[in-house]
Chains A and B, each alone.
Chain A
Amino acid sequence: MLDKIEQIVKNFNSEIENATQKDIFEEIRNKYFSRKGLIAELFEDLKQLSKDEKPKYGQLLNQTKNELNAIFEKYLENYSSKNLESSFNLDLTLPSKKKNLGTKHILNQTLLEIKDIFKGLGFSIYDGPELESDYYNFEALNFPKDHPARDMQDTFFVNKNFLLRTHTSPVQARLMQSTKPPIRAIIPGKVYRNEAISAKSYCLFHQVEGLFIDKDVTFAELTGTLIYFAKQYFGENVKYRFRPSFFPFTEPSSEVDIWWQPKGKTGRWLEILGCGMVDPNVLEFNGIDSEEYTGYAFGLGIERMTMLKYGIDDIRIFFDNDKRFLKQF
């Protein structure tokens, strides 16, 4: 019995020493440790021993089994780690086993930043369809049919009643019709303009619409909120101006310019958003009493905000999706 054990241990040791492939490890495992393996066989043999011998050899056998098992696991582990640390000299200058992280599109990173600022001011975030009806895109926003105001937004039409929305403002009308004031929301999304593609304009871009309707919402609160936004996004020292403008769905209406002066270049005013007090016609049309409630609305372009912040001068690069560009941000 003792000889038999010794022989098996010897064989095992030489076999495991020479194991260089995964298959061989499996074979060894089967040969020695399986249900009908050599060690199991030894335990079978144990049954034939006398009462006196049984405990002694039983103990030995258990000990041997555990030892062999430990040796096996150690060799296997060594093999599995491709002998890396043991067979190479420790060289900490080897390149790292780097894991890459992915990216969100830079436009969505800007959007996220904008969403965060307005979430902090207690705004909800809503969605809306891109293929819109003329009713929501224009009529409900005080753009009469056959009015030159419609020329301000070159429109892709599907037919005379359906179109690709030219702004995120139709969601204003949808919200007013479905929700009771107070309404305090921003609405991000894609909008479309029927314009030739160039470095400065694309057939689509992304907008964030803002809407706040309640009792006692004022123009001063609108300007204050947007100044806060501009400072959060562009920095405390941003130079801005509010400039009267015209949108059919707001009155008074304003555009906001910021002073933009890249290093070594002459500065200029750049428009970043349009805003105004919701026109009473729009409130009434969408079922809100304009004597009781007032509201403000604004809309800003995400591409423009991103181009300014990162010094990008060609809008088309956003939609080319060159991996070298995507990875930068």
Chain B
Amino acid sequence: MLISLKWLNDYIDLSDVSIEKIEEKLTASGLEVEEIIDYKSKYNNIVVGFVESSEKHPDSDHLSICSVSDGNSIYNVICGAPNVAKGQKVAFAKVGAIIPNGNLEIKKAKIRGVNSEGMLCSESELGLSENHSGIIVFDESAEIGKNIASHLQLDDVSFEISITPNRADALSHIGVARDLAALFNKNIKLPEINFQPIAKNIAEFAKVIIENSSDCPRYSAIIMEDVKVQESPKWLQDRLKTIGLRSINNIVDVTNYVMYEIGQPLHAFDLDNLSGKTIIVKNASENETFITLDSKLHKLNSNNLMICDAEKPVAIAGIMGGENSEVTPNTKNILIESAFFNQSSIRKTSKQLGISTDASYRFERKTNPDITIWAAKRAAQLIQQIAGGNILDGILDIYPNPIEEKIVEIRFTRIYKILGYSIEKNIIKDIFLKLGFEILTENNDFLKIRIPLSRPDIEREIDLIEEVARIYGFENIPEITRINVTLNKKIDQTSIREKIRDTFVGLDFNEIITNSLLNKETAEKFGNPINLLNPQSSEMTHPRPTLFAGMLQTISRNLKVKENNLKLYEIGHIFNQINPEIVDFSDFQEIDSLLFAITGFSSDEEWFHSKEKFDIYSLKGIAESLVQNIIPNKKIRFEYFTGANSYFEYGFVIKIEQKEIGKGGKIKSDICNFFDVKQDVFAFETSINNLELETEEQKFKPLLKFPKIQKDMAFIIDKSVTSEEVEKVIKKGSSNLLKNIKLFDIFESEAIGKNKKSLAFQLEYYNEQRTLTDEEVDKEFWQAIEKVKTELKAELRGN
């Protein structure tokens, strides 16, 4: 919200305080100043210029070449405005000026072959109005060369303040002034209300009925006759301009002005369009329609609070007036509404209808029910000053259950317990007084305080403690040099993920983090995704049911920049719907998943070896290293599938006993194609939970004290026999002296036969208790060979 410095000075004298100090103090007290708009510097280098001459551009129908004086020099300026003419006083932006509308810097330029050293501006270009029909022409009295901010008396400063939702009280100039008074130890003064009503009693003339007093606890109204609706005077237009509001007419402008002054939203009705001169506050009927003053049609329901006359609705309460009763240039008599509505009722209706206005914004944050009459009178007084007319005697005010001010106790010990530093009692008391709170009781232990209704956010002791800390200043919190650490057991639920990441660093993988929101088509390819009710775009409608999509998108994007060799992994949550409707956490599944993928070449061409493509064996090896590194003391085993399985063409499952730990393989090419990935991708998926459940404390295993004996064997065997089958038979033919079998060579060639292959194994024998003799190992070894020969029709090589 924009707050004008000049405007603030109406209520608090800030003449001895610098702009920087105001900014600092406001921010330090919780009213964060996001930007300072200094209109003088905003219009730097934009001055009143004099058009000495204006001629048509030789190469253009609509451009003119002008000579413009700033009082010192004459400049050549090309102008496209239809209304430019010799002898005008204009808004001249010189080289170096920044045009507020669009932030364009003016530079020397050549326009259709002619030099131009500046620009003549329209109101819209200067951000003064939306008028861009032609350049601004000032009247004769304008002083040539004067900065236009000074000429237009726009030499104000505005603070753009970000107001948190709890500070409804600060949504007005008086509200901000109240904080400044406490911060700078000054007093504020409110404008005096002082007008002479005519001898016509409002109560005999009009009436207000509240049918729903819980949503509308208070409704006040004042009536004026014979006002003249016209353009607002310059001072009012300027004030609204400095806080970014557009002037509409003098009546509407005053209602806005008072809202930004005290925070009470007002609405002016054309009294002659209020049937029966009656206001009835009640709920809409179901499916009733209503046209607001922006000419939009709304469908209502029975929860929407409406302002009605004797026959029809005339406004959506607290949100927006109706077209049927708005103030028009022909309006003579007006009723000014100044009401207090229930905050959640306004918010619900505003959300439901999708209308948010300055009024609804304030009502839903809770306004002050105490100021309705003051605000109505203040508006009437201002309207009378600028639009004439008569104010009827009295005020309509329905307030059946007056809201009481809260009384809250604050204990000094509690202040210390929360803040951890002590503040003198006198300072505490002073802070409350400056904020306009009343101290009812005071003793050594506590203060009893009455909170004005302007501060709906203060209801509890903790709220008062916050006020003390805020105004006393966070910069005054003493620095501490030691803290207390509790000695209860420490837990790190993320440690396994860190161990996995460390493993991948060692395996030369890059970690990725992808967008977890996918579009429908992609998400549905990979599971049973959950639909978002209100997505930001059609590209992000479903939380990912898998990490595969993000992985393949990442691979695709990298291939486009010629990063063809990739080893990537991601750890992240995936979401799948279980039951058709989500009413409980058991209706969906959220898993912390892990996926890694490899594609392209594992190593480039080097002088010491040739390049090598990633294949299923690379994947298998990485999966094995990873799982075994995380779960070192459990035996893992592989199961294989050669037909399509989930997203894989072929692949394997890693198991520990009967439990599946993860699954990997070559991703189906149609899935790769969907992501525009034209090379083979191998991937392995598991979950953090799967891995974590298997981990157990690692124990030392004594080192072997006796020698190992290694022996090699090679077979020529049918191509269809798998390496695993051979290993199984070798084991079958051996005792427990055989500890490891390793395939170390495989080849196929014409020489050994068309359907044959050669497999060579290294066998490792040892016993933990003693040294083995050559004889017993030889016996074992030959037994195993015989077993393979007979069971698998293998031929021992080298015989």
**What residues make up the interface of A, taking CB atoms closer than 8 Å to B?**
26, 29-30, 34-37, 82, 84, 94-95, 97, 99-105, 107-108, 112, 115, 119, 121-127, 129-131, 133, 145-149, 151-152, 155-159, 161-162, 164, 182, 184-185, 188, 190, 192, 194-197, 202-204, 214, 216, 218-221, 223-225, 227, 241-246, 251-255, 277, 279-280, 294, 318-324, 326-327
* A and B contact pairs by CB, cutoff 8 A, 14 listed: A101-B505, A119-B490, A123-B490, A147-B347, A148-B364, A202-B515, A214-B484, A216-B484, A218-B419, A243-B32, A244-B28, A244-B469, A253-B466, A294-B417
- Chain B 166-190: CB-based contact to A (< 8 A → 1; otherwise 0): 1100000000000000000000000
Chain B nearest CB, measured from A217 CB (Å): 8
Q: Are A225 and B483 interface neighbours, CB within 8 A? A: yes
Q: Are B512 and A243 interface neighbours, CB within 8 A? A: no
**Residues in B neighbouring A194, C-beta threshold 8 A:** 534-536
Q: Are A122 and B485 interface neighbours, CB within 8 A? A: yes
Q: Which of B461-515 contact A (CB under 8 A)?
A: 462-463, 465-466, 469-470, 474-475, 477-481, 483-495, 498, 501, 504-515
**Residues in A neighbouring B514, C-beta threshold 8 A:** 319, 321
Which 7 A/B pairs are nearest by Cβ-Cβ distance?
A: A218-B420, A30-B798, A244-B30, A220-B420, A246-B164, A224-B480, A122-B485
Interface centre among A125, A145, A158, A323 (most CB of B within 10 A): A323
Chain A nearest CB, measured from B399 CB (Å): 24
**Residues in A neighbouring B487, C-beta threshold 8 A:** 122
**Residues in A neighbouring B554, C-beta threshold 8 A:** 321
Q: Are A252 and B485 interface neighbours, CB within 8 A? A: no
Q: Which of B133-188 contact A (CB under 8 A)?
A: 164-167
B585's partner among A122, A133, A182 (CB-CB below 8 A) is A133
Interface centre among A195, A227, A251, A254 (most CB of B within 10 A): A251
**Alpha-carbon distance A29/B501, docked complex (angstroms):** 46
**Residues in B neighbouring A161, C-beta threshold 8 A:** 582-583
B567 at the interface (CB under 8 A from A): yes
B533 at the interface (CB under 8 A from A): yes
B501's partner among A104, A245, A251 (CB-CB below 8 A) is A104
B510's partner among A97, A103, A122, A251 (CB-CB below 8 A) is A103
**Residues in A neighbouring B463, C-beta threshold 8 A:** 251
Q: Which of B301-319 contact A (CB under 8 A)?
A: none
B272 at the interface (CB under 8 A from A): no
User: Who on chain A is nearest to B30 by CB?
Assistant: A244
Chain A, interface SS category: mixed
Interface centre among A148, A162, A241 (most CB of B within 10 A): A148
**Alpha-carbon distance A37/B486, docked complex (angstroms):** 76
**Alpha-carbon distance A159/B583, docked complex (angstroms):** 9
User: Who on chain A is nearest to B569 by CB?
Assistant: A102
Interface contacts beyond A102-B505, A108-B511, A194-B535: sample of 18 additional A-B pairs, CB < 8 Å, sorted by A: A101-B508, A122-B490, A124-B490, A126-B493, A130-B575, A131-B543, A133-B585, A149-B166, A158-B582, A161-B583, A190-B516, A203-B536, A218-B417, A221-B483, A223-B477, A243-B27, A245-B164, A323-B510
Chain B nearest CB, measured from A149 CB (Å): 5
Chain B, interface SS category: loop
Chain B nearest CB, measured from A177 CB (Å): 14
Q: Are B465 and A245 interface neighbours, CB within 8 A? A: no
- Chain B 695-728: CB-based contact to A (< 8 A → 1; otherwise 0): 0000000000000000000100000000000000
**Alpha-carbon distance A227/B475, docked complex (angstroms):** 12
Chain A nearest CB, measured from B644 CB (Å): 28
B420's partner among A115, A127, A219 (CB-CB below 8 A) is A219
A319's partner among B167, B478, B488, B515 (CB-CB below 8 A) is B515
**Alpha-carbon distance A113/B49, docked complex (angstroms):** 60
Q: Are B536 and A252 interface neighbours, CB within 8 A? A: no
Chain B nearest CB, measured from A267 CB (Å): 14
B536's partner among A37, A196, A227, A241 (CB-CB below 8 A) is A196
- Chain B 568-579: CB-based contact to A (< 8 A → 1; otherwise 0): 100011010000
Q: Are B607 and A244 interface neighbours, CB within 8 A? A: no
Chain B nearest CB, measured from A142 CB (Å): 11
A246's partner among B27, B165, B533 (CB-CB below 8 A) is B165
Q: Are B534 and A29 interface neighbours, CB within 8 A? A: no
Chain A nearest CB, measured from B86 CB (Å): 43
**Residues in B neighbouring A245, C-beta threshold 8 A:** 30, 32, 164
Interface centre among B558, B572, B714 (most CB of A within 10 A): B558
**Residues in B neighbouring A321, C-beta threshold 8 A:** 510, 512-514, 554, 557-558, 568
B608 at the interface (CB under 8 A from A): yes
Chain B nearest CB, measured from A100 CB (Å): 5
B477's partner among A102, A195, A197, A220 (CB-CB below 8 A) is A220
B53 at the interface (CB under 8 A from A): no
Chain A nearest CB, measured from B502 CB (Å): 8
**Alpha-carbon distance A145/B348, docked complex (angstroms):** 10
B531's partner among A158, A279, A294 (CB-CB below 8 A) is A158
Chain B nearest CB, measured from A286 CB (Å): 16
Q: Are A121 and B474 interface neighbours, CB within 8 A? A: no
**Alpha-carbon distance A197/B537, docked complex (angstroms):** 10
Q: A130-B590, A148-B365, A280-B460 are in contact. Are A323 and B563 (CB under 8 A)?
A: yes
**What residues make up the interface of B, taking CB atoms closer than 8 Å to A?**
27-30, 32, 164-167, 344, 347-348, 364-365, 417-421, 460, 462-463, 465-466, 469-470, 474-475, 477-481, 483-495, 498, 501, 504-517, 530-536, 540, 543, 554, 557-558, 561, 563, 566-568, 572-573, 575, 581-583, 585, 588, 590, 592, 606-608, 714, 797-799
Q: Are A157 and B557 interface neighbours, CB within 8 A? A: no
**Alpha-carbon distance A220/B514, docked complex (angstroms):** 39
**Alpha-carbon distance A223/B460, docked complex (angstroms):** 23
Q: A158-B532, A280-B460 are in contact. Are A326 and B512 (CB under 8 A)?
A: yes
B462's partner among A99, A124, A225, A280 (CB-CB below 8 A) is A280
Q: Are A324 and B486 interface neighbours, CB within 8 A? A: no
**Residues in B neighbouring A122, C-beta threshold 8 A:** 485-487, 490
User: Who on chain A is nearest to B511 by CB?
Assistant: A105
**Alpha-carbon distance A280/B464, docked complex (angstroms):** 13
Q: Are A322 and B494 interface neighbours, CB within 8 A? A: no
Q: A158-B531, A224-B483, A324-B563 are in contact. Are A218 and B418 (CB under 8 A)?
A: yes
**Residues in B neighbouring A157, C-beta threshold 8 A:** 532-534
**Residues in A neighbouring B558, C-beta threshold 8 A:** 321-323
User: Who on chain B is nearest to A33 by CB?
Assistant: B798
**Residues in A neighbouring B557, C-beta threshold 8 A:** 320-322
**Residues in A neighbouring B480, C-beta threshold 8 A:** 220-221, 223-224
Q: Are B420 and A107 interface neighbours, CB within 8 A? A: no
B494's partner among A127, A162, A246 (CB-CB below 8 A) is A127
**Alpha-carbon distance A127/B494, docked complex (angstroms):** 7
Q: Are B508 and A100 interface neighbours, CB within 8 A? A: yes
Chain B nearest CB, measured from A278 CB (Å): 10
Q: Are B479 and A224 interface neighbours, CB within 8 A? A: yes
B474's partner among A149, A184, A196, A254 (CB-CB below 8 A) is A254
Interface centre among A95, A188, A277 (most CB of B within 10 A): A277
Q: Are B534 and A252 interface neighbours, CB within 8 A? A: no
Q: Are B492 and A162 interface neighbours, CB within 8 A? A: no
Q: Are A184 and B417 interface neighbours, CB within 8 A? A: no
Q: Are B418 and A294 interface neighbours, CB within 8 A? A: yes
Q: Are A242 and B477 interface neighbours, CB within 8 A? A: yes
Q: Are A94 and B607 interface neighbours, CB within 8 A? A: yes
**Residues in B neighbouring A145, C-beta threshold 8 A:** 344
**Residues in A neighbouring B515, C-beta threshold 8 A:** 202-204, 319
**Alpha-carbon distance A161/B517, docked complex (angstroms):** 19
**Residues in B neighbouring A82, C-beta threshold 8 A:** 608
Chain A nearest CB, measured from B411 CB (Å): 11
**Residues in A neighbouring B474, C-beta threshold 8 A:** 223, 241-244, 254
Chain A nearest CB, measured from B413 CB (Å): 11
Q: Are B483 and A121 interface neighbours, CB within 8 A? A: yes
**Alpha-carbon distance A61/B418, docked complex (angstroms):** 94
User: Who on chain B is nearest to A318 by CB?
Assistant: B513
Interface centre among A196, A219, A225, A241 (most CB of B within 10 A): A219
A121's partner among B485, B563, B581 (CB-CB below 8 A) is B485
Q: Are B517 and A204 interface neighbours, CB within 8 A? A: yes
